[in-house]
């Protein structure tokens, strides 16, 4: 049995860790009143006083701990830190020496001892301490860094540079090391000028000071007669290109990568970056030309081959272009299926990494039936994954649930996505996780993206096990690590919250990692994969013939299929003038990503403006200025057909923060939904802002989100049956203020029917239980 004072000690340590210092102090003092010889308690109390800034009391408590037990190196080390705060540097040095004598592996003591010696100008002694630390811990970057500082202080720059370079190798992302290395190279000699610029640039890059980093990298790559190693120069191009992209200078980044390719024609990464930038800026023909150029030097590069044959524009100028590019994709996919070689492990591995750089994301925005193409692509991905991981495509059996008589284990559900944060996917599906029945289900969540925020934390809190496995790029080791982790968790059901958004997740869906695998509408299109069994959808969003749109078995969850919490809106603190919206305008919010706007529907806007003279259409820019410019050209042509100026009726705002985006919703009058691919999260947020929604349901589920949301809300007067009715409703909302107010009031009165609907969660869990029972 644990003693009472030991339990209280553990509680005090917990209070201290939580920052509840006063409560922890009271607990320590209470223990010492009955256990005055407890050295560990004196030590913890001393460190508590140190954290509170009460250094005299801290020293007294730590000395008492040492009086009771002098053999604990951590007591000496902590005393050294406190004595330094009290200004007694000599005794602090001795305390750290005592700590090292008791434990020669106590790396923090070496670090502090050397720093104190260096501050006292005892550079030779400090150097010996750091050399000793390196001998004990040869892989610890901090010791090399501090050794470099000592050597630089002794003006031994070549030796200092070597120490800094080892520190950099061991900890490549430390900006302080890079900065000191750059300074040492500068001080050493002019012949190190280029290397100094590179490391200074890297230091700024690690600190996210992209403009300063770009300046240093530019200096590095333009120094005449530079004899730099090719890998270092290629890294400089890579980092400079990333800096330019962060600074939204895509044209400059494109020019840089062309220059890099001319200098290093076999550097595949330059082609990859160039192709992505060209596509994102709307220069898809140039992107394909770049992939063709790359294949001349890298003929076996599957990523370049994929780009050459499956690349699609992000925006189309007219409907005929959609057909032309669709034919390009179909013929390219047929070619890849026949061409990709999986006969040996080596080429299969190249196929795995090459195909895993992109998805068919933009195919689905053409507004066509993509089932056959998705199945063809899904089969190809499955073959590639099966060749690389043959043991991970075999069927799995659900583990027995019975533990003991009258006892059953919980059903294990896994949720995987790259977007378990304040992203559309995270917002839509966090309710499934937050409201799950923890008595019957254990949730295992796998977050593969780097971003974390309050939604991530909610998911973490409601998970039995939360795994943050951020991907830097698609590597074979990631497939191995993440696949092994999921298989080891022995899930009953694995749910992909989206397939087709992120390349890694799309590839992973080609494996059998759980006995039952599902996908849902984070990306609302069939996966086409033979290893995905069910598509979890919304009954209201699906048309009657929806089963024909999926390779999976369709599951129609009630209502809109998700439990979405009404957002906590900020107060209205901005005016229309902050967003270039005229005060007297009828503001139509058109906030979807630009690639959702198909050219055959551009006429809708001038057709409305022709009748609503004060109509102002508010768009949000694309992620590249070139893309936004192409969209503007389309609008200009559409308005000209109606003898109107698009500039008089349209404003295209830059990307907005979440708060400002809500401000725009609150300042607008009407929300215009997109055809073929409807708003989901945007519609749910607009309703929270009491914006009337004009929508026209499409043929496929992805074009029926807003329709379903309004059906659930019970406000259906603004649902159009066709394009002409859409225009008529939008015009009436703009001109008839009384009717618009009635619609807004109805929406406001019925919001409780829409948000935090738990019916779908109950139905989802009933499906899980049923399918497990059947399996």
Instruction: Locate the domains of the chain by residue range.
Output: 4-193, 248-388, 411-557, 576-753
In this prediction, residues 62-73 reach a mean pLDDT of 91
Among candidate residues 680, 673, 622, 672, the one with its CA nearest the CA of residue 649: 672
* Ramachandran sector of residue 168 (left: φ over 0; alpha: ψ -120 to 50; beta: rest): alpha
pLDDT at 9: 87
Domains 248-388 and 576-753 share a fold: no
| pLDDT of amino acid 1 | 37
Look at residues 54, 67, 16, 7 and name the one whose alpha carbon lies nearest to residue 34.
Answer: 7
Structure tokens at 706: 């807003």
| Dist CA 78 CA 95 (whole Å) | 8
- pLDDT value at 326 more than 70: yes
**What is the pLDDT at residue 190?**
47
222: pLDDT strictly greater than 90? no
What count of residues does the chain have?
A: 775
Q: List the single range of 383-387, 417-421, 470-474, 660-664 with lowest mean pLDDT.
A: 470-474
- Please return the burial class of 690, using the count of CB atoms within 10 Å of its CB with bins 0-12, 13-18 and 19+: middle
Domain 576-753 in CATH 2.60.200.20: no
pLDDT tens per residue, range 524-580: 999 999 999 999 999 999 999 999 999 999 999 999 999 999 999 999 999 999 999
The pLDDT score that the predictor gives to residue 192 is: 56
CATH of domain 411-557: 3.40.50.11380
Q: Is the pLDDT of residue 20 over 80?
A: yes
- Look at residue 542 in the predicted model and tell me its pLDDT: 98
Q: What is the pLDDT of residue 194?
A: 60
**Per CATH, the architecture of 4-193 is what?**
Alpha Horseshoe (1.25)
Task: Please report the pLDDT score of residue 140 as a whole number.
Answer: 87
Label residue 180 by pLDDT band (50, 70, 90).
Answer: confident
What is the model's pLDDT at position 82?
Answer: 92
DSSP secondary structure of 662-712? HHHHHH-SEEEPPSSS--SHHHHHHHHTT--EEB---SSGGG-HHHHHHHH
Within 13 A of 695's CA, how many CA atoms are on the CB side? 29
Residue 227 to residues 168, 222, 334, Cα–Cα distance (Å): 21, 12, 46
Nearest-Å Rg of the Cα atoms of the chain is 31
Q: What is the mean pLDDT of residues 415-428?
A: 96
What percent of the chain is helix, strand and coil (3-state, nearest 5)? 60, 10, 35
248-388 CATH choice from 1.25.40, 1.10.10, 3.30.40, 2.60.40: 1.25.40
- Cβ within 8 Å of residue 548, ≥6 positions away: 371
* pLDDT confidence tier of residue 201, bands split at 50, 70 and 90: confident
Write the secondary structure of 207-248 as one string of H (helix), E (strand) and C (coil): CCCHHHHHHHHHHHHCCCCCCCCHHHHHHHHHHHHHHHHHCC
Indicate if the pLDDT at residue 706 is higher than 80: yes
pLDDT in tens, 489-524: 999 999 999 999 999 999 999 999 999 999 999 999
In this predicted structure, what is the pLDDT of residue 115?
Answer: 87
Question: From its phi and psi, is residue 248 left (phi > 0), alpha (psi between -120 and 50) or beta?
Answer: left
Task: Give me the pLDDT at residue 123, please.
Answer: 83
What's the average model confidence in pLDDT over 712-729?
A: 98
State the virtual CA torsion across 496, 500, 502, 507 in degrees, nearest 10. 70
The chain-wide mean pLDDT, for the chain, equals 91
In tens, the pLDDT along 128-165 reads 988 998 888 888 888 888 888 888 777 677 788 888 88
Q: Is the separation of the CB atoms in 579 and 664 below 8 Å?
A: yes
Alpha carbon of 745 to those of 739, 740, 742: distances in Å?
10, 9, 5
Global pTM reads: 0.78
Higher pLDDT among residues 401 and 226, named by residue: 401
Distance linking the first and last C-alpha atoms of the chain? 46
Report residue 31 as tokens.
């223990």
pLDDT in tens, 589-642: 999 999 999 999 999 999 999 999 999 999 999 989 999 999 999 999 999 999
């Amino acid at each position: 049995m644990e003693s009472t004072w030991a339990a209280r000690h553990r509680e005090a340590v917990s209070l201290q860790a939580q920052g509840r210092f006063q409560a922890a102090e009271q607990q320590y003092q209470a223990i010492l009143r009955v256990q005055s010889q407890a050295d560990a308690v004196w030590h913890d109390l001393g460190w508590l006083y140190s954290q509170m800034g009460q250094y005299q009391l801290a020293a007294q408590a730590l000395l008492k701990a040492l009086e009771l037990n002098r053999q604990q190196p951590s007591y000496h080390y902590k005393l050294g830190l406190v004595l330094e705060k009290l200004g007694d540097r000599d005794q602090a040095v001795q305390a750290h020496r005592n700590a090292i004598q008791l434990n020669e592996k106590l790396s923090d003591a070496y670090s502090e001892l050397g720093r104190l010696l260096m501050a006292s100008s005892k550079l030779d002694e400090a150097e010996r301490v750091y050399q000793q630390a390196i001998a004990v811990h040869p892989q610890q970057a901090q010791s090399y860094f501090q050794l470099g500082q000592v050597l630089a202080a002794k003006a031994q720059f070549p030796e200092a540079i070597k120490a800094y370079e080892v520190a950099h190798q061991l900890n490549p992302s430390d900006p302080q090391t890079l900065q000191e290395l750059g300074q040492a190279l500068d001080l050493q000699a002019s012949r190190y000028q280029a290397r100094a610029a590179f490391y200074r640039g890297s230091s700024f890059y690690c600190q996210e000071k992209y403009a300063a980093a770009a300046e240093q990298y530019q200096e590095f790559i333009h120094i005449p007669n530079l004899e730099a190693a090719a890998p270092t120069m290629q890294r400089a191009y890579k980092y400079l290109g990333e800096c330019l992209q962060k600074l939204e200078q895509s044209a400059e980044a494109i020019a840089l990568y062309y220059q890099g390719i001319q200098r290093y024609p076999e550097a595949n990464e330059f082609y990859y970056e160039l192709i992505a930038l060209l596509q994102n800026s709307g220069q898809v023909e140039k992107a394909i030309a770049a992939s063709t150029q790359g294949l001349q030097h890298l003929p076996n590069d599957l990523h370049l081959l994929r780009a050459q044959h499956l690349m699609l524009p992000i925006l189309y100028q007219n409907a005929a272009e959609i057909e032309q590019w669709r034919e390009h994709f179909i013929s390219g996919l047929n070619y890849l299926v026949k061409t990709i070689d999986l006969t040996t492990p080596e080429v299969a591995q190249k196929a795995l990494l090459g195909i895993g750089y992109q998805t068919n994301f933009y195919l689905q925005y053409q507004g066509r039936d993509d089932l056959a193409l998705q199945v063809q692509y899904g089969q190809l991905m499955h073959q590639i994954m099966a060749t690389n991981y043959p043991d991970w495509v075999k069927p799995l059996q659900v583990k027995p649930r019975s533990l003991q008589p009258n006892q059953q284990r919980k059903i294990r559900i896994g949720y995987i996505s790259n977007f378990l944060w304040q992203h559309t996917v995270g917002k839509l599906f966090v309710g499934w996780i937050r409201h799950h029945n923890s008595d019957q289900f254990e949730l295992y969540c796998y977050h593969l993206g780097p971003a974390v925020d309050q939604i991530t934390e909610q998911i973490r809190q409601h998970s039995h096990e939360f795994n943050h496995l951020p991907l830097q790029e698609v590597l074979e080791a990631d497939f191995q690590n993440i696949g092994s982790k999921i298989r080891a968790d022995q899930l009953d059901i694995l749910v992909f919250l989206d397939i087709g958004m992120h390349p890694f997740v799309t590839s992973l869906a080609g494996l059998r990692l759980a006995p039952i695998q599902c996908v849902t509408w984070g990306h609302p299109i069939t996966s086409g994969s033979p290893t995905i069994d069910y598509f979890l959808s919304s009954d209201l969003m699906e048309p009657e013939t929806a089963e024909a749109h999926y390779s999976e078995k369709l599951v129609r969850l009630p209502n809109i299929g998700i439990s979405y919490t009404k957002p906590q809106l900020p107060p209205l603190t901005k005016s229309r003038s902050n967003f270039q919206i005229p005060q007297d305008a009828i503001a139509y919010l058109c906030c979807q990503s630009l690639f959702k706007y198909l050219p055959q529907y551009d006429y809708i806007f001038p057709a409305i403006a022709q009748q609503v003279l004060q109509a102002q259409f508010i768009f949000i820019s694309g992620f590249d200025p070139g893309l936004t410019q192409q969209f503007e050209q389309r609008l200009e042509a559409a308005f000209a057909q109606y003898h109107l100026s698009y500039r008089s009726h349209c404003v295209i705002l830059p990307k907005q923060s979440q708060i400002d985006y809500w401000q725009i919703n609150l300042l607008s009058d009407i929300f215009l939904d997109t055809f073929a691919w409807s708003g989901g999260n945007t519609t749910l947020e607009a309703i929270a802002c009491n914006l009337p929604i004009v929508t026209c349901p499409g043929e496929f589920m992805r074009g029926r989100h807003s329709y379903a949301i309004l059906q659930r809300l019970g406000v259906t007067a603004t649902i159009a049956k066709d394009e002409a009715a859409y225009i008529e409703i939008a015009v009436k909302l703009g001109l008839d203020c009384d009717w618009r107010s009635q619609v807004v009031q109805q929406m406001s009165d019925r919001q409780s029917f829409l948000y935090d609907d738990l019916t779908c969660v109950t139905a989802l869990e009933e499906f899980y239980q049923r399918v497990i029972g059947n399996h």
